[in-house]
């Protein structure tokens, strides 16, 4: 049976998840459009309205997040922004910037959450947490100093910070079908970038890549999260 407290935070989790995914996919679509590929623009993906993104990937934006929350107490899922493969082959560097745009949108949301946390602390509404374990990693990045609306805002900012740190970092892994597999084209010679991106289109590698990426990321996220906390609370020395 799900803990009632976990269940009560579920709607807030979904709001943050949908916001994070929408910004991620809209960033992909916008940079592709600016780079000369209007496919996602015509598909309605250059928008912060979540509805077109949900319509495109209902399984990854509705079913999987709810199941992952019920089973694990936190949300994960996916969306997608369409693009023209011939445009990617012709302009691999532009496609690399398109791929990088999604994780950078997540990074921007991490910074926005951090700014909100620091402002709340300066106003006396928030305080740094103690040691964090398990699910607390996501929902207790910052604590309210009093009951009331500040508690809900603290949970919102905590989820916004931790979920976007996870989404951004995971998608940067240079493994197909993750964004990092195409984004590395920014630092590669154009011909090599083109071949590297095409390698990621092989569907036989997609599931293997996701399994490998999630296994590797299990060793990365813990230290990354602690490092992010220590940057957020300079001098706190979380470990």
Does the pLDDT at position 238 exceed 90? Answer: no
Return the percentage of the chain with pLDDT > 70, whole number.
92
Please provide the DSSP assignment of 162-230 as one string: HHHHHHHHHHTSSSTTSHHHHHGGGTS-HHHHHHHHHHTT-HHHHHHHHHHHHHHHHHHHHHHHHHHHH
CA pair distance 17, 233, nearest whole angstrom: 24
Residue given tokens 């791929």 in the structure block: 99
Lowest mean pLDDT among 14-23, 162-171, 195-204: 195-204
Does the pLDDT at position 126 exceed 60? Answer: yes
Does the pLDDT at position 166 exceed 80? Answer: yes
User: pTM for the full model?
Assistant: 0.92
Model pLDDT, residue 201: 64
Domain range annotation of the chain: 4-232
Average pLDDT value for the chain? 89
Instruction: Summarize the confidence of residues 58-72 as an average pLDDT.
Output: 92
When mean pLDDT is compared over 23-32, 138-147, 218-227, the highest value belongs to: 23-32
Tokens coding 141: 């990045």
């Amino acid at each position: 049976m799900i803990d009632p407290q976990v269940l009560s935070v579920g709607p807030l989790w979904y709001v943050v998840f949908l916001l994070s995914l929408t910004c991620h996919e809209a960033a992909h679509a916008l940079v592709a459009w600016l780079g000369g590929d209007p496919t996602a623009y015509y598909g309605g993906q250059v928008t912060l309205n979540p509805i077109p993104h949900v319509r495109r990937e209902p399984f990854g934006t509705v079913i999987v997040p709810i199941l992952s929350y019920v089973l694990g107490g936190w949300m994960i899922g996916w969306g997608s922004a369409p693009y023209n493969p011939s445009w990617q082959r012709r302009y691999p560097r532009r496609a690399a910037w398109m791929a990088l745009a999604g994780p950078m949108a997540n990074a921007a949301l991490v910074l926005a959450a951090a700014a909100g946390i620091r402002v709340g602390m300066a106003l006396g509404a928030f305080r740094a947490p103690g040691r964090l374990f398990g699910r607390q990693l996501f929902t207790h990045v910052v604590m309210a100093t009093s009951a009331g609306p500040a508690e809900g805002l603290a949970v919102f900012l905590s989820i916004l910070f931790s979920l976007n740190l996870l989404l951004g970092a995971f998608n940067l892994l240079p493994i197909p079908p993750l964004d990092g597999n195409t984004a590395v084209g920014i630092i590669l010679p154009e011909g090599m970038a083109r071949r590297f991106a095409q390698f990621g289109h092989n569907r036989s590698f997609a599931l293997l890549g996701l399994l490998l990426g999630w296994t590797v990321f299990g060793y990365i996220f813990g230290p990354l999260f602690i490092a992010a906390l220590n940057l957020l609370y300079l001098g706190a020395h979380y470990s």
